[in-house]
Structure 1
Amino acid sequence: MIKQHPFNHDLSLEVYNECQDTLKPKECYTNIYYTAVAFAEKFHSKEWKVAYGYIRISPEANLMARHCFIVNAAGEAIDPTFFTHGNLYSGDVKEHTSFYIFNDITRYARWVEKNKFMPDLDKPLREKEKAMQEWAKSNDMILVG
């Protein structure tokens, strides 16, 4: 199911500051994997969940890049990777769009393990991503990555 999540800038910055030594630009999947380790209690309590989706990369163009982020209990997007880019994403990010959310961190870890420890989960989530492609088409958006 496609969901839109308001971007929690302040909490994202807090998470970035806590994990900045392990976070890298253009490594959102790995960054969230490391963040899940650093904040294990938030994920095990199901207060935070791992989300796969897209982020709008330009306010002038209808382009969205595939992305991985955290969704909190309030449904907000927490995105520590945002701050690794020196705000590469132009404009004011208002929301993130998810096509799949892992409600259980253990299940997420198993999927990553089965994917040869590659947290992009590109192939395993391909079927679930089709709904996102339809959503993008109906909203005149172009998906990249």
Structure 2
Amino acid sequence: MTKSAIEKITGAPKDKTESSWIYEDGTILNFRDNKLSGGTLNSLKDAIAASISREKPSASDTKNKQLGFAQSFGQKTTKHLAKMSSIYHGEQIGGNMYYTWHTGDDNIGMLVRIDSPNRMTAVYQYDADTENHLGKRLFSGRTLFAE
């Protein structure tokens, strides 16, 4: 990592020379050719972890993650969904089988999977504001029955 990248994460050091930075908490970072080469790195590791946790995922990251979750849900076999009924809640309505999955990710929310009698599967974003509670379709494909 470069000095500028580290300073963005950790802030300005208490004391610095060309080859060393010293922070209030006693952390010492050593540099060679403007790049980190050593020091007491545990504090730096903690600062980097804290910086990452503060960063919000971008809209494209969230969309790609949502599409990945939908594809994974849509490609699970009906046997797997039945076996994991505490996670994937299923109910037959008319000729279709509906499954819901609370993903555990606040950015993605709940997904709804519909398996039709013609062996097609579609996965939608749950939308409480629509009459049928189906938002945007995120995945469609053939229904898989066995592994």
TM-score in terms of structure 1 length: 0.22
Q: Which has the higher contact order (CA 8 A, sep 6+)?
A: 1
TM-score when normalising by structure 2: 0.22
Higher strand proportion: 2
Greater CA radius of gyration, 1 or 2? 2
